[in-house]
Amino acid sequence: MTRLGIVVALAAEARTLGLHSYRSDDIMTLSHQVLVCVSGVGPATARIAGARLLAHGANALLSWGTAVALDSQLTAGHLLVPSRVLGVDRQPQPVSRGWQRQLHRQLSTRFAVDDRPLIATPRILTRPAQKRRLFDESGAVAADMESAELALVARDAGVPFAALRAVADRADSNIPDWITGSMDGYGRVRITSILLPLIVHPADWPDIAGLARDFRAATNTLKAIRSDGDCADLIPDLSVSEARAIA
């Protein structure tokens, strides 16, 4: 029996799976076939979460959440099911093509789905110029911080891996430098920590409002995917040989 392990970095992304109360070190059960771990931001935490899911019986790993667009043609809420995931070094990491094609086939009946490459970034991309440069240099259309590392965990364990991400930050959007310091490792914003910067930098209000609007579009897409409540339709429908073919 295939048991799906989902790694999600942010608290708001966890809520799209119906998880409103959790501890970050818990393995949560959506059904007897679907487990979830909220990792926090970054590759190191994604690796730990993936390993913990495997230890609890998962034999397929899915990276779920949001991503930043590098291609200016991608709009907020656009769904990504990449056929290739690139590491920070631009090297491709293993994706189960059978599972990726399954997800693309299922979801493209309801959403516009992009299957072009997703790339890892070691830090939050705050400027349009950074995104444009990475797009030009790598050919990837979007970026996140966790998927490539989770792909390596799956490779080492010999289990299938796929990524499912929704665009939450457009290629032309700007993130004020101070906002990242106002969030904890799970993307939760401390309201008291943003009031003074917004007073001092009132010109940042449009950027913040745009980011909030775009993030809401991304989470709405993810909520819409979770149509049956337990993500059973995302479980890979693979033969034994396909399940082991992670490249």
Question: Is 80 a member of any domain?
Answer: yes
Q: What per-residue confidence (pLDDT) applies to 206?
A: 75
Structure tokens at 218: 């991304």
Residue 231 has pLDDT above 90, yes or no: no
- Measured distance CA(89)–CA(18) in Å, rounded: 34
Question: Is 64 a member of any domain?
Answer: yes
Q: What per-residue confidence (pLDDT) applies to 246?
A: 40
Domain of 40 in residue numbering reads as 4-176+214-232
Residue 228 has pLDDT above 60, yes or no: no
Taking CA atoms, 139 is separated from 4, 86, 136, 228, 234, in Å, by 30, 10, 6, 34, 27
Q: What per-residue confidence (pLDDT) applies to 120?
A: 98
Q: What per-residue confidence (pLDDT) applies to 243?
A: 46
Question: Is 74 a member of any domain?
Answer: yes
Q: What per-residue confidence (pLDDT) applies to 8?
A: 96
The CATH number that applies at residue 12 is 3.40.50.1580
For the segment 132-179, what is each residue's pLDDT rounded down to a tens digit?
999 999 999 999 999 999 999 999 999 999 999 999 999 999 887 756
Question: Is 33 a member of any domain?
Answer: yes
Q: What per-residue confidence (pLDDT) applies to 188?
A: 63
Helix, strand, coil % in the chain, rounded to nearest 5? 40, 20, 40
Q: What is the pTM of this model?
A: 0.87
For the segment 169-221, what is each residue's pLDDT rounded down to a tens digit?
999 998 877 566 666 666 666 655 666 666 666 666 577 788 889 999 999 99
pLDDT band at 26 (very low <50, low <70, confident <90, very high): confident
Residue 17 has pLDDT above 80, yes or no: yes
Structure tokens at 181: 């310091």
- Measured distance CA(139)–CA(128) in Å, rounded: 16
For the segment 37-95, what is each residue's pLDDT rounded down to a tens digit?
999 999 999 999 999 999 999 999 999 999 999 999 999 999 999 999 999 999 999 99
Question: Is 105 a member of any domain?
Answer: yes
Question: Is 109 a member of any domain?
Answer: yes
pLDDT band at 241 (very low <50, low <70, confident <90, very high): very low
Question: Is 199 a member of any domain?
Answer: no
Question: Is 245 a member of any domain?
Answer: no
Of residues 18 and 81, the one with the higher pLDDT is 81
| Total domains in the fold of the chain | 1
